[in-house]
Structure 1
Amino acid sequence: SRAAPLPAAMAAPPLPARRWPLPLPAAEPLLFLATLSLGLQGPLATQYLWDRLGAERGYSGPNTTGPAGCGNSSAATDPLRQEVEVLVSHWNLCINLGGFFVGVFSVTLFGPWSDSVGRRPALILPALGMALQAAIYLLVMYLQLHVAYFLLGRVLSGLMGDYNLILASCFAYVADTSDKRARTFRVAVLEACLGTAGMLASIGGAQWRKAQGYINPFWLVLAASLAATLYAAFCLQESVKQQKPAKLFTLSHYKAVYKLYTAPENLSSRRKLALYTLAFFLLVTVHFGAKDLFVLYELGSPLCWAADLIGYGSAATYLAYLSSLGGLRLLQLCLEDTWVAEIGLISNISGLVVISLASTTPLMFTGYGILFLSMAATPVIRAKLSKLVSETEQGALFASVACVEALCSLVATGVFNSLYPASLHFMRGFPFLFGAIILLIPAAIIGWIEIWDSNRDYSHFSDASLSPADGGEGT
């Protein structure tokens, strides 16, 4: 009679059975294609808004007059130019707010849902949404529609999960197919795909836009999004082994994310989970906020960059992903992951301070160079978050991280795009200085957790060494 539980045990394999050997093809090509699409779209859309809104108000900006016309003293104080800068910043604010506000809810809905039905549906939908957004942008450019239609495309993409859901699903895919020892580097490799695709998009998109305008590069945006959709649908292998049907529109998905941070068991891990999430939120908010303003900052006086320099600048920001990957791998040979993250934060803070003071092209690129390890902190935090929860909670974890990233974009767009026009009259680079100051907080959080853990380990060792005095046998 006691042999009855055996079939049940066989029917429910142990947790390690969920681990797959790394499937081929993997998630990296899909993330590469999605990032290529996004990397092309961002600077092109900002420059299109600049030229379109400037032309409506009779202003010929630096994209047509060149740096010489923008850099003189009269251009630096031109109220019409400042009006165009404010308009572009406000339209970016509205478009991004609309998309990310919708994305906050859709990402947290699709993320836990993918734990049951699999990762592939959560990758197909947002890729298709990005393709739909690119198609609407093309219609705006072809038909000279009002730029408010950009907001429509952004909201539709947000409803389908947007780029943040692709990020979350790809990181969950890596968590499904990697062990804890290799996870930090695997996450860093995935983030390096962001840098490679972004660098190619920045250089190629800038040169292409300079030669042929906006429309032809946007066809590549559409093609890359469609290719990502087809790859997820027909090429990517499923990483969730035990798939089961699940309702999409249910509050249980939101509750799974909520319970991740409120479950009473293992209080210490939950506290660290909340602190690491706060550090991640602040770090990614600064990344998104600074990235949103780089192109606008470079277009204005005194830099007055043309399309080719803007492309090189964007490529330099993405190159930090690759240099951070190499630096992470080397520093892991002699340092704990925590201190690698701290070095990455120092690089980030120093680079933003230099950029905030940049008044010449060499100084601006010096700031970009100092950022060479700025992306080393994010893969460390993602890996530490993943290691704090059990294997059965990985889907809910990355859904919460996706929610945090969407919220980061929302807050970054609101704060930095509002701060930029408000600070033009006293310091154009103030938002970057503000970001550098904010990054001191995650640096303190990460360092404090590491020191706290070290003290606890030492305390346990001391208690163990004193136990013979309590009547036990010594060793």
Structure 2
Amino acid sequence: MDERDTAAILPADTLPSPDNESTTNDSCSPNEEVEIRTSSFRRPPFACPFGLSVEPVLFLSMFSIALQAPLTTQYLWDRISEDLGYNGTKGGGCGNTSDRPDPLQKEVETLTAHWNLYINLGGFALGVVVVTLLGSWSDLAGRRPVLIVPSLGLALQAVVYLVVMYQKLPVAYFLVGRLLSGLSGDFNSVLAGCFSYVADTTDRRSRTFRVAVLEACIGVAGMFASVIGGQWRRAQGYINPFWLVLATSLAAALYAYLFVPESVSPDPSAKLFTTRHHRAVYRLYSGRGRGAGEGTGGGDSSQRCKLWLYTLCFFLLVTVHMGSRDLYVLYELSAPLCWGPALIGYGSAAQYLGYLSSLLGLRLLQLRLADSWVAVVGLASNVAGLVVIAFADNTQLMFTGYGLCFLYMAATPVLSSTCRVFLVPGALFASVACVEGLSYLVASGLFNSIYPATLHLLKGFPFLFGAVLLLIPAGIIG
């Protein structure tokens, strides 16, 4: 997420429709149809409580991600500061009130940004391959594995992080945890699995409400985890919050195993390692071939051109979202803001509040405006917030920037919905997964490299850079 925000508020019509909606169930408890088409291995031991299905899985996984992401950056900062003998941020203040930048703080910032880069690149590089394979495989083999396995991978990552903290191992070992999480599909597989599950088990009338519930789970879990993490870190340090990260990841996997019934009729012959879906994406964008699972409009150059343009918009938007999110905590830790863990938690909560405000704003704007205008308004909100954050030198201005981003996620579902016009379900998941995975890689590499390289020029330059990048999709949509 990461906090992983791109698929968070996909509207109902972007989700692939089940092959036969008349045979799907809207409630959590498996009905007669599900009983017939699920093997005993895939049938959960218990019925889901309170009429829920995958919502608790997404809530717990999102809570785990939102709790650990800011704490990891803060831990890297503290460990690197300790190794270099820098104590400028201890006690809640930077201790450097002069206009002259502290060269030691610059070195800490640079090394922290670089280690964030290495750790994230390691996880995303594996995740971009694994999430595409797992997601496409789940269309045939079932959704439960892509809910359970990634959650266990997140738990393994938390175990590695705890070992590093207990033993004071070099921060390079964090990379091992990210690689294990990436090998299991990472949080993106959980996210995709939950939205696909809702598409499998609902009809068009009930799907909108169920998707809204999933979106609310992401925003509420993120806000709670951010506030709890900041206060807990200030009171007891890093280790106890990471025990909660481990517990929530295991709880997500356990809930999926015990309570979530299978929504797809499992095909025992389904292959995990196949290039079929990647070939479908290639044919989709190259115009070579047309058919089930290969894309539409292959012979129409105008339609293919529009698909490329909207994909470029989606790519740039996700890149800016992920790249800026990687830097917020680092930006807040250093001068002139010098935030402590509590303020960092509130700042992270303000970001997740944007999920809920964007969802509400999207629904209201669509009553009066065309989707293209809704996307432009969302991009304008994002640009305004990033520009203010780039020049924020006090707490009030920083939170003003977060407030201006209250519609920053409104453009994402519009682009996703538009892209779906050119796709058939067979190529939909693979295409979105490939674009998102590539966006994560580019975002981590680009923004974490620009930040230390431009500290002498303008500390908030990466945010200005992101705002300029967003003008490209605004122009294309316009």
**Aligned partner (choices 298, 307, 310) of residue 344 of structure 2:** 310
**Aligned partner (choices 408, 432, 436) of residue 467 of structure 2:** 436
Aligned to 1:22: 26
State the alpha-carbon separation in 1 of the partners of residues 306 and 203 from structure 2: 21
TM-score by length of 1: 0.85
Q: Rate the CA distance shift 1:374–1:179 in 2: closer, same or farther, 3 A.
A: farther
Is residue 44 from structure 1 mapped to residue 71 from structure 2 by the alignment? yes
The alignment covers a number of residue pairs equal to: 428
Is residue 73 from structure 1 mapped to residue 98 from structure 2 by the alignment? yes
Aligned to 2:439: 408
**Aligned partner (choices 346, 351, 358) of residue 324 of structure 1:** 358
Q: Rate the CA distance shift 1:182–1:426 in 2: closer, same or farther, 3 A.
A: farther
Aligned to 2:84: 57
Q: Rate the CA distance shift 1:85–1:271 in 2: closer, same or farther, 3 A.
A: same
Deviations 1:129-187 (A, max 9, x none): 11100110000001111111100110111111111222222232333345668867765
State the alpha-carbon separation in 1 of the partners of residues 23 and 369 from structure 2: 28
Q: Rate the CA distance shift 1:189–1:257 in 2: closer, same or farther, 3 A.
A: farther
- Of Structure 1 and Structure 2, which has the larger fraction of its residues in helix? 1
Three-state SS of the structure 1 residue aligned to 2:222 is helix
Deviations 1:208-233 (A, max 9, x none): 00000000000111111111111222
Contact 1:189 1:325 in 2 (8 A): no
Larger Rg over CA atoms: 1
Pairing 1:109-148 to 2, within 5 Å after superposition: 109-148=133-172
Contact 1:202 1:312 in 2 (8 A): yes
State the alpha-carbon separation in 1 of the partners of residues 307 and 27 from structure 2: 29
Aligned to 1:229: 253
State the alpha-carbon separation in 1 of the partners of residues 107 and 421 from structure 2: 49
State the alpha-carbon separation in 2 of the partners of residues 139 and 327 from structure 1: 43
The aligned amino acid for 1:22 is D
Structure 2: any 5+ residue segments left out of the alignment? Answer: 1-17, 29-51, 291-295
Aligned to 2:372: 338
Identical aligned residues as a percent: 63
Contact 2:24 2:203 in 1 (8 A): no
Q: Rate the CA distance shift 1:202–1:15 in 2: closer, same or farther, 3 A.
A: closer
Deviations 1:282-324 (A, max 9, x none): 1111000111000000111111111111111111111000111
State the alpha-carbon separation in 1 of the partners of residues 204 and 411 from structure 2: 17
**Aligned partner (choices 243, 250, 254) of residue 274 of structure 2:** 250
Aligned to 1:196: 220
The aligned amino acid for 1:443 is A
1:270, distance to aligned residue in structure 2 (A):
4.5
Q: Which moved more, 1:337-346 or 1:48-57?
A: 337-346
**Aligned partner (choices 100, 103, 106) of residue 82 of structure 1:** 106
Deviations 1:257-286 (A, max 9, x none): 434434444235554433322211111110
Is residue 214 from structure 1 mapped to residue 238 from structure 2 by the alignment? yes
Is residue 369 from structure 1 mapped to residue 395 from structure 2 by the alignment? no
State the alpha-carbon separation in 1 of the partners of residues 216 and 308 from structure 2: 26
Contact 1:110 1:122 in 2 (8 A): yes
Three-state SS of the structure 2 residue aligned to 1:204 is helix
State the alpha-carbon separation in 1 of the partners of residues 117 and 152 from structure 2: 24
Contact 2:21 2:203 in 1 (8 A): no
Alignment root-mean-square deviation, CA = 2.2
Deviations 1:52-111 (A, max 9, x none): 11111111131x2322624x117x511111111111011111111111111111112112
Contact 2:278 2:430 in 1 (8 A): no
Deviations 1:179-212 (A, max 9, x none): 6688677655533322211111111000000000
1:407, distance to aligned residue in structure 2 (A):
1.5
1:386, distance to aligned residue in structure 2 (A):
3.6
Aligned to 1:34: 61
Q: Which moved more, 1:103-112 or 1:45-54?
A: 103-112
